[in-house]
Structure 1
Amino acid sequence: MDFATFIGIGGGFGVLVIAIFMEGSKLSQFMDLLATNVVIGGALTTTMARFTLGGFMAAFTAGLKAVTFNHHVSARDMIEKIAELADVMRKQGPLGLEQVEIHDEMLAKGMRMVADGFDLAVIRESLERERDLQLERLEDAHKLFKFLGDAAPGMGMVGTIIGLISMFSHMDDPKKIGPGMAVALLTTLYGAVLANVVALPIADKLSIKSTEEGINMTLVIDGVLMIRENKSPAVIRDMLLAYLPQKHRAAMQEAA
């Protein structure tokens, strides 16, 4: 579970609630069904219009899953695991790889292909296709939440106009002026909150995650191919050190 997502979004809403109470207002004053319908419903439907229905549901689900559950393995740990598998390959042969527990799905798939004797080109093509498709799914999810973040303030402005029209059309009734102005302001608030507290942070996180996933999966592909070529664990570790920041390389070499 990625606690940063929950802490960030939950903390953002927490700050808003505290600000409301510090002003001596009631939380119920900031709840309005019309504003919710216009901003959230409008933003979701206008975003959905940019995708097919299946594409929208797949991207939305993939995005929430990616930012909620953190399955990322550090490059350092991945290099150590690949070196361990290379050692097993050297000592026990391809069949020995089947006895090693591997948690990363892509690395496990690569080791199964090595153990089954697949050709080097076939392994490369299969793993690169899997990497590209996964990155494409993350990119679709990033676009969805980016579109949602862009649409929310616009729908908030639409709600503001609706509220102002309602207010001006009831200028002869002072009791209806206040509620109309409240709706006008709340829709702007809802649009800003949906965009800046929820949608855009998730979009940026998906962009970062896509970059990290791409680097990690490329590392796995390189490691699997070198194991298939039966390179020594030391050589594989040295060649994969390029994926680590410079400050971490010396420490890993000393540990090795």
Structure 2
Amino acid sequence: MKNVLKRCVSLLTLFNEKSIHLSTDYIKDNISEYRNLSDTAFKRSFERDKVLLREMGYNLDYIKDKWTINEGYNLSGTAIISDIKKNEDVNFQKFLNTYHIIKNYLNSNNEITENKDYISKLNKSIIDKKRVSFNYQNKLRKVYPMGIKFFNDNWYLGAEENKKLKTFSLRKISNLKIGNKSDLHEKDYKKIQFSWESKDYLISIKIHLEKEIYLINKNVFNHSVISKNQTNNLLELVITTYDVHGLLRFLLLTNPKKLTISKKHKILLLEVLNV
């Protein structure tokens, strides 16, 4: 985690106002975290870091103009922020908080998801404990829906089929039909464990950050709050999550004042991220 954050900060630092048309060789040679990587490992890490920076509002674009001899990576997305910071009439922190609120609102209201209309129908079936049927990978499935979760930009249904708990991607479900009978089982859908929620991949961390920042960004990833303490406007949270990539986005967006993670979970995090 520390290496990922450090690489992103190093990239932003490297691309100052005079640093334009930077080649991949120049980037690799001037960032210590890249320098000793193989070409394949560097390419994988660099591409992943570009995606993370893009989510933060920074774009690393490769410029190749046939009319000039200059080509390489340029960084965009910083000029407006720099101008706002220089404006003494603007409270930058309030502006940033408002921006995140609006951005999250627009993202949630413009989210395009295949079979999105199925979500409300399946939720109703879960509450009523009904059986449903649908086509999935060219096969008719008859299941008892137990829960729905959003993970890694996709919606998933957790359901019992032939007394086995299975996970189904909503994108692959078609021809959904809801049964008529209710109260067909006594299972607690809240205890469902989805396919990615293996205990081997559960990560626990303690973070310190401002309450407002947490509230703005808490929906970036799926997590559970184990404990919470507040001193003035500063939160101390112990959270657990299976959503490793979502956790990384959250940390990059919020930049916690303090982060505590066990050696075991740090190793696990790096393994999952392949860093």
The TM-score normalised by the length of structure 1 is 0.29
Higher relative contact order (CA 8 A, sep 6+): 1
The TM-score normalised by the length of structure 2 is 0.28
